[in-house]
Structure 1
Amino acid sequence: MRRVRRARRRSTLPVDQTAGDSPVQARTADPQRATYAAQMGSRRPSGLRRAAAAVNRWDVTTSDAIAKAEFPTVIDRGLPLLTRAADRSVLWMAISAALTATGNPRLRRAAVRGLGSIAVTSLVANQLGKRAFPRRRPMLGAYPIGRIAHRVPTSSSFPSGHSASAAAFAVAAAIECPPLTLPVGVLAGAVAFSRIYTGVHFPTDVLAGVALGATIAGLGAVVARAHHEAPVRPGVEPASPQRARPSGHGLVAVLNCDAGSAGNPILDELRDALPDAELLVVTDDDDVIEVMSKAAERAEVLGAAGGDGTINAAATAAMAADVPLLVIPAGTFDHFARDIEMTDVADAIDAVRTGRAVRIDVGDANGATFLNTASLGSYPEFVKVRERWEGRLGKPIAASVAIVSVLRSCPPLAAEVDGVQRRLLLLFIGNGEYGPRGFVPRWRRRLDTGDLDVRLADEARHGSMWRLVAATLTGDLYQSNRYVELTRPSVTVKITGDTGYLALDGEVADAPSEVVFTVRSQALTVYRGPSSGG
């Protein structure tokens, strides 16, 4: 009995075999119900143990019923194969590859969001959940031999990592592309049920995994909104009509194939629609800034396809050459393109053909341009860690590693912000006013306000990065005296400790000891999408 009690104290859920069983005996014996009673002994169980015992009894009863039930042949043969395909998320990676191969930007974004959600969910489920709630797997005596999973894990049964990943991918993909809800949702449900059907998990393991995955995918939608969720903009920026270019004459467009979806599909669409345009494709060996500068010198309109870093380089070159900028959506999230209502390549083609353009503000940091945001503190540290690992792990998993690293060990940045000494966890500066409040800004209704959107969080005490994340998600952030949110035309930051890094539109460099952030009012002429007003 002494040995059994020690095992029970290490787990918050009832274990499912006696401690004296060998692994083979424990996996094939049948008396699961008697085991828990034997472990409890003669003492009256507490309320928590009684609840755990009730859950255990329901789990065992339901598992036994499923094990003994007869299913159609297609189920008997298909579910073991499906659960095997979902090992290590191979199934979801294959679906993501298929979605990306379609060339449809919406499906590609769904794939990226789905894999990102899986990366975070797997980290939480496997590294935190299974360690916090150790639980043995179901015993397999009642299961037909043909159903039992090809690979039975030895890790904790609670929660189900496969179910968590399936739910995370399905919810995330549906958020980005609602038509995927039914097919991906049904597949995810089948994967979750297959974990019970093949004897690998109890039902509550699967339910907990589904709840965890869906929650993380939902929180991901708070942090990074889906492409179709942008608010309707009033389109009040000053109009700056340009000459209509039905065939693209005078347009020089630079396509960065390394950013998001830029590449052959976009190149082909532009070539067919704008036959007189000059189209340039940059590679790993090219200096994007140099290519942009040379293109702008001979262009009447400078076009750019790529991520926000590519668009930043294009804006700098366009202002220097005093030519309008055509943004061609081709990055992963296309933050700036969405704010000017450029949702796809067809919008860009229509804009240059009709000459629809406006003048907008540009952010300035010691002479460097930013169209979206600038930041100091934890975000640039996150980007540096992610870039360090993404070559080996891929972007979604590298991002998960970076999040954990920053939350655990990112030091505060000692700095004066407009003369006030602070220890910054994060300083966000937006070119124009962003919504909503907090550290998950997602949109701008105008791009000509003449103001910077300044948001900062001061260090309060040890562990405050975790509290900052929690407060952001719960809405308690705005009640904290360590959080500041304001708008002003300029901000001066003097770094008094280690300088760290400065991020401009997601591109990270070493931070200078003093940075002056200002607004260049209506400094850039940019083509806009068809749904803006004005």
Structure 2
Amino acid sequence: MDLLPFRPRRRGIRQIGQGLGTLDREVFEAVAESPSPLIDAVMPRLTKAADHSKLWFAIAAGLAAFGNPSVKRGAMRGVLTLGVTSLVTNQGAKRVWRRERPNRILVPLARQTRRAPTSNSLPSGHSASAAAFAVGVGLENAPTGLGLALLAGLVGMSRVAVGAHYPGDVLAGFGLGAGIAVLGARVVPPIVEERLPGAAPLRQNAPERPRGAGVTVVVNPASGSGTGAQVLDEVREALPDAEIVELGEDDDVAEVFRSAARRAEVLAVGGGDGTVAVAASIALEEDVPLAVLPAGTFNHFAKDIGCDTTAKTVAAIQQGTVSCVDVVCLNEKQMVVNTASIGAYPQFVQTREKLEHRIGKPLAGIYAMFHTLRRDQPVRISYDNQTLQTSLFFLGNSIYLPSGFAPSRRTRMDDGLIDIRILDTGRPLAKLRIIAALMFGRLTRSPLYRELRVPEFSFRSVDGPTVLALDGEVGTEVTEASFSVRYRALPVFRPEP
């Protein structure tokens, strides 16, 4: 007897479903019977362009080629989200609930596509992919995402207009694609540029050098798998009056830079981030401004000051645009321009960067984290009256984005802060908990994750000397390390913000 009240409820739910189905068919028939030369001309072309996501891949290529950093990140996120959505839709969702396609006879011949789809009608794969791409891009760059959302809506409408889907199929596809994009943002949070009030950039007056007079350029031709040699050619052509010094395998790098700085009005460096750190230290000692040419493999420092191409650095030298950035001083003697780390963080970065161009940064980050934690060599450190065991420790010059354990970029390099990220791997089931938190996008809320933004930081290695990696170069051993910011100490040539 207790089950009887549930029968009317089930009957009511069934009636609601039948009513929605009837409404869905009536809307489809109304669209099909509406004469419109514009729909006849536009919608079949639009739905054909979206076949196999060709439209979205073409747009992503354009965004990646011509967009700003947030648009480029959006293009990458959109493509990855689209791929996941396509897999979930075609291999999962379409097999859950069987629904026949609409009757194409009702659709005017001018609107019909050549081939009639044979898979289940619910949900619309085109609509799911469209929503996934648009929302994925919008999570990184809202204005671009809004424009793509309007285009995605038109793609969904085209599926109804050509007779491929009912409106309800399209709405279900939109919901599925948008939901997967939002879930992806929980796993890999988008970069949100913080717009905290800050001091204006500190600029310095510098003379224009249209031909590079007074500039000494020190380049490692072998850096960046041959990029250094290409940079040399570009510099010789653009700055014919500049002095060129080529680093050899047996040269004392610090001594070469010191000698060059003493006879230069501008010290320019082309090499990896480790070489840039040496040059920055010498430039500070000799009180000359630094110019950075992107001749390394990753060129993190050059990219973050806006000099991601040789042409931008050369233009800054020619125009005399100089502003000051922070550097971090280790134990009062060694300069850090990008990052310092202990434990397995260098291995984590190398694994992630090796794979990110093939499978994308989000999946590469998850795999690199799992791979690193599985083979880690933990280090016990003591700081701020506490001791913990860590396998991944990151310290950055200025604030990195996004939060979490995949910092990738800086929006400014003169905020006077050190960015510190630590994973505590000494607690029970720590590795499993970290991987789970990473997969569900909750790492920043985990008690195993520490994030600090401070002007000074120091730690002690409890069990003796540990290897410290500085700016990608591994090999410095320390027992005690003290880091402090030298606020806006380094003048560099960079484009106007």
TM-score of the superposed pair, with normalisation by structure 2: 0.65
Structure 1 residues 29-83: Cα deviation after superposition (integer angstroms, max 9, x where no partner)? xxxxxxxxxxxxxx83877x97698568636742663366145321453144123
**Do the aligned partners of 2:342 and 2:469 also contact (CA within 8 Å) in 1?**
yes
**Do the aligned partners of 2:102 and 2:164 also contact (CA within 8 Å) in 1?**
no
**How many residues end up aligned between the 2 structures?**
459
Measure, in 2, the Cα distance between the counterparts of 1:223 and 1:410: 23
Partner residue, 2:3: none
Partner residue, 1:123: 84
Q: Does 2:214 align with 1:250?
A: yes
Change (3 A) 1:112 1:340: closer
The alpha-carbon deviation at position 114 of structure 1 amounts to 0.8
> What is the Cα-based RMSD across aligned positions, in Å?
5.8
Measure, in 1, the Cα distance between the counterparts of 2:216 and 2:393: 36
Q: Sequence identity of aligned pairs in percent?
A: 25
**Do the aligned partners of 1:431 and 1:519 also contact (CA within 8 Å) in 2?**
no
Structure 1 residues 261-304: Cα deviation after superposition (integer angstroms, max 9, x where no partner)? 99999x989966x664579999xxx99x9999978865733446
Paired amino acid for 1:403: G
Change (3 A) 1:373 1:270: same
Partner residue, 2:7: 44
Measure, in 2, the Cα distance between the counterparts of 1:172 and 1:188: 12
Partner residue, 1:424: 390
Structure 1 residues 401-441: Cα deviation after superposition (integer angstroms, max 9, x where no partner)? 32342566652763212265434364331224668976577
Aligned equivalent of 1:191, options 132, 149, 155: 155
Aligned equivalent of 2:423, options 457, 466, 472: 457
**Do the aligned partners of 1:383 and 1:508 also contact (CA within 8 Å) in 2?**
no
Partner residue, 1:12: none
Aligned equivalent of 2:364, options 395, 398, 402: 402
Partner residue, 1:527: 493
SS in 2 for 1:356: strand
Change (3 A) 1:214 1:482: closer
Structural mapping, 1:242-321, within 5 Å: 242=206, 244-251=208-215, 276-277=241-242, 298=260, 300=264, 301-303=266-268, 310-311=272-273, 313-320=275-282
Structure 1 residues 462-520: Cα deviation after superposition (integer angstroms, max 9, x where no partner)? 333333565758x745xx476363636343464979x9x98755x48699796846347
Measure, in 2, the Cα distance between the counterparts of 1:416 and 1:318: 31
Measure, in 2, the Cα distance between the counterparts of 1:374 and 1:484: 15
Measure, in 1, the Cα distance between the counterparts of 2:275 and 2:26: 62
The alpha-carbon deviation at position 204 of structure 1 amounts to 3.5
Q: Does 2:480 align with 1:518?
A: no
Structural mapping, 1:117-516, within 5 Å: 117-123=78-84, 126=87, 131=92, 134-136=95-97, 138-144=99-105, 147=112, 150=115, 152=117, 162-171=126-135, 173=137, 180=144, 184-195=148-159, 197=162, 199=164, 202-212=169-179, 215=182, 223-225=190-192, 233-235=198-200, 242=206, 244-251=208-215, 276-277=241-242, 298=260, 300=264, 301-303=266-268, 310-311=272-273, 313-320=275-282, 322=286, 323-327=288-292, 336=301, 349-350=315-316, 353-354=319-320, 356-358=322-324, 360-362=326-328, 364=330, 370-375=336-341, 380=346, 382-390=348-356, 394-395=357-358, 397-406=359-368, 411=373, 414-418=378-382, 420-424=386-390, 426-432=392-398, 443=410, 447=414, 449=416, 452-459=418-425, 461=429, 462-467=432-437, 472=442, 476=445, 480=447, 483=450, 485=452, 487=454, 489-492=456-459, 494=461, 507=472, 516=481
Structure 1 residues 115-144: Cα deviation after superposition (integer angstroms, max 9, x where no partner)? 233214533663599648952454125135
SS in 2 for 1:199: coil
Structure 1 residues 372-393: Cα deviation after superposition (integer angstroms, max 9, x where no partner)? 3334578655534434445xxx
**Do the aligned partners of 1:415 and 1:493 also contact (CA within 8 Å) in 2?**
no
Paired amino acid for 1:189: G
SS in 2 for 1:245: coil
Measure, in 1, the Cα distance between the counterparts of 2:332 and 2:130: 46
Measure, in 1, the Cα distance between the counterparts of 2:438 and 2:469: 20
Paired amino acid for 1:199: A
Partner residue, 1:9: none
Measure, in 2, the Cα distance between the counterparts of 1:129 and 1:293: 62
**Worse-matched range after superposition: 332-341 or 310-319:** 332-341
**Do the aligned partners of 1:360 and 1:447 also contact (CA within 8 Å) in 2?**
yes
Paired amino acid for 1:187: L
Change (3 A) 1:243 1:149: same
**Do the aligned partners of 2:340 and 2:470 also contact (CA within 8 Å) in 1?**
yes
Paired amino acid for 2:24: T
**Do the aligned partners of 1:417 and 1:493 also contact (CA within 8 Å) in 2?**
yes
Measure, in 1, the Cα distance between the counterparts of 2:121 and 2:347: 33
**Do the aligned partners of 1:296 and 1:318 also contact (CA within 8 Å) in 2?**
no
Change (3 A) 1:155 1:276: farther
**Do the aligned partners of 2:327 and 2:485 also contact (CA within 8 Å) in 1?**
yes
Measure, in 1, the Cα distance between the counterparts of 2:19 and 2:371: 43
Partner residue, 1:97: 61
Paired amino acid for 1:116: R
Measure, in 1, the Cα distance between the counterparts of 2:42 and 2:406: 44
Measure, in 1, the Cα distance between the counterparts of 2:115 and 2:216: 56
Change (3 A) 1:488 1:99: closer
**Do the aligned partners of 1:121 and 1:212 also contact (CA within 8 Å) in 2?**
no
Aligned equivalent of 2:40, options 73, 79, 84: 73
